[in-house]
Structures are given as C-alpha cells and as structure tokens.
Amino acid sequence: MEIYKRENICCDNEKNILETTDGSFVCVNCAKVQDMVCFGNLVNSYNDVKIDPILSEFCHRLQIDTCTQSRANEIYFTAITSFPSLRKLILKSTAIYIASKKNSEPRTMKEISSATGVDIKQIGEYERIICKDYYPTNSNDYVNRFGVKLKLTYKEIRIIEQEILKSLKCTQIQNPVLHCAIYLYKFMHESPNCLIRIQETTGIPTSTLKNAYKKEFRVKSNLTNQF
C-alpha cells in the first residue's frame, strides 16, 4: 500500500498552474507536472491519502481523472473499514462507480465490469450496501465521452447536448445512458453501422435502442399533436 503526503498545497491553487503546449499542467511554484487540472477536489479530510495500486490500475484502464481516482480511494478505504467482510475486488469496482457519479464523470456498470472483471449485479448490490446517498446521473454526463469515442466533432456533440436538454421535460426514458444513446442514434442514423458502433460505445443492445427510440419519438409526436 502506498501513501502520498499532500505537501504541495500550492498545486491546489489555480493561479499557480500553467498549461504547457503538450496539454499537461505545471505548478509554477514547485514545478510539479500534472496530467489535468485538479483544484481543491482531492481528499481534504486526511493529511495522508492512501492509494490502492489495483484500484489505480482500474482507473487507468477506464481513463478516470486524478480527482475521481482520489475520491474512489477515499470511498474504498472508508468502506473496507466499515464493512471488512466485503470482497475487496467488488468493493474497488463499486468505489470507482460511485466516485465517477459523484464527480459527474460517470462510467457505466458495463464499462467498469469490462475493466475489472466484476459482475454488474455485484456492483449494484455493493452500491446499495456502502452508499447511503443516491447520485443520479444526467444523460448529458455521457455525451461528451461517448461522442469522442464515436469520433463526433465538438460542434456535433454540443448539438446533441442541446437536443437532450430540450427533451428532458417530456421524455419517459429513465435510464440516462439509454437516453443519451437515443439522441446519438438520432444524430448518427444515416452513418454506416451506427447502431453497432453505438452499442459498442454505450453498451446498449441495438434492439433495446431501436425500441426506445420509437417510444421516445412516438410520445413526442403524440404530445405535439395535442396542441
């Protein structure tokens, strides 16, 4: 187990951080190089932040940022103290799932399951055990990451986000990942193999996506006809 002391408090101050030409960030006081901007979001309740190497490897596979990784470690070590009989591998996967939602950088259970080998049902079961609060996600939380994987442009991703925002008041789709996938499909439906590509990116089966798409826009059509 490794312990990293938070001695470089200067790095938490945004004014001390300079972005370099290669996209990394450097503290002008201590010259520490960071892979992303991360101000004041690290664990503040402890002087020492414990880092679990296996959890860190999972976060690396999932391309999870440093702040979310720190929060996942906090959740994991708190839970393992409160629930010592729980299986550690499942607990690490669940901690990542909860932390990513809390930091508005959610990963789907299927994504985490693929990275850690833990069954989706076990992640859901452990979430109910260790998490007292519910952290709902929004469909737009997924658009940017899925859009990048699908090689959409910045402008195209913003258009999809606006479409989702407009739909939130009348949609009957409760699953935010599925709701996001519907609007990706609406935008990309003329692209070759778009259903397969969206399934591979979001984890939503093509049959589920097509049925939800019909339901979403049939409801909207009915609402429009009422006025």
Non-local CB neighbours of 50 within 8 Å, separated by 6+ positions:
1, 2, 3, 73, 77
Rg (alpha carbons) of the chain, rounded to whole number? 20
What is the model's pLDDT at position 134? 72
What is the model's pLDDT at position 46? 41
The domain boundary, picked from 104, 130, 156, lies at 130
pLDDT above 90 covers a percentage of the chain that reads 59
Same domain? For 89 and 181 the reply is: no
Nearest of 67, 72, 83 to residue 6 by alpha carbon = 67
Q: How far apart are CA 134 and CA 193, in angstroms?
A: 36
Q: Residue 98 is part of which domain span?
A: 2-130
CATH number assigned to the domain comprising residue 20: 1.10.472.10
If one counts the domains in the chain, the total is 2
CATH number assigned to the domain comprising residue 193: 1.10.472
* Token pair belonging to 62: 């999932």
Burial 175-198 (b: 16+ CB within 10 A, else e): ebbbbbbbbbbebbeeeeebbebb
Low-confidence ranges of the chain (pLDDT < 50): 1-8, 22, 35-47, 222-227
What is the model's pLDDT at position 32? 60
Read off the pTM. 0.69
Same domain? For 122 and 149 the reply is: no
Same domain? For 70 and 166 the reply is: no
Residue 195 lies inside a defined structural domain of this protein: yes
Residue 135 lies inside a defined structural domain of this protein: no
Cβ atoms within 10 Å, residue 212? 20
